[in-house]
Structure 1
């Protein structure tokens, strides 16, 4: 109760804003991963995937400072995100339709959401940790982080459902969503501290170009793979 009586709502608002703004792409990932689930399972996929991602994000925030110093973490996360974007785009409603039970497809979607969220969350968790650092050290900082992230869950879930609604009516959004993941991945790779250490600070200037190339690459190769599967 002491936490709620002394809470600084300005800090909570900052954490929620950071999570929503930097986590907008998470709503796209959740929608892409759940789009081929049965309508009755979509809500469960969104809820479980979001819950797992939030829990892991809280853990990551606790170790944010250490994570920032790990060379090639963002580089590896970027490569992983490229692969996820490609797979989400190529995946169709018929994939594994006869090989996987509904529950298996549900948990496969949940795992995709969690893995993608981890890959994208490096900058996010560092920003959240920075916002929480404005309050006194100790358990209060952790309390702010947890409370802020929990409050943002309905916003992420609601965003995912809106994207799913649009995907059902405008399939091109799947391609654009995969391109968004490619854009994020390209920027992550070219701003990795380990890569900068070996290549030089000038490489950061090419992060935008890398994002554009990665986005186009995911969309083009994904589209070619989809056409190849249709021919077969």
Structure 2
């Protein structure tokens, strides 16, 4: 039993080997399995359908020059989906519960969209710092506010993903500990927290999927502003 509530965020090891890299290799191994069949099996067909659907929903709002970013954004959402979902399995670790990890993913992508906008449409990108029709006395204050808002975007992306996943994991840990304790102390009411734990697990799976999509969708919106 864990002595600290936050021990679940430590990378598990077995025989001195970290289990996280091994777990991350499971999804690519299943996704890129080669087959000599004339028709793909159900798993590969569903995977291709999901990729097509995600690409369509992510790229539709973006202007045509931004469609070159499709492989990067789809790779990012698959990476986040893999790490978020695998982190729910026993003896695993969710890297996306670390703010440093999420910021390291968000900062280069956000900076690339800003640099793209400054290179291709400098005037339009700089115009976002000053809303149309702003009174002259408020111009310096609004430029400062919009600049801070622009630079805080990657931090907001990282904090949003970290907070949602961390809160869900902690809640699951608390409910599971309560369920285990009541199973031995008060077996009559043990099914109640067990049912709550099952519902929270389903909710956490949905949160893991949605947060990966939201992270990528917000980056695609930033890209749309700069293309």
TM exceeding 0.5: no
Structure 1 or 2: more helix by fraction: 1
Q: TM-score of the superposition, structure 1-length normalised?
A: 0.31
Q: TM-score of the superposition, structure 2-length normalised?
A: 0.32
Which fold has the larger relative contact order, with Cα–Cα distance below 8 Å and residues 6 or more apart in sequence?
1
Name which one, 1 or 2, has greater alpha-carbon Rg. Answer: 2
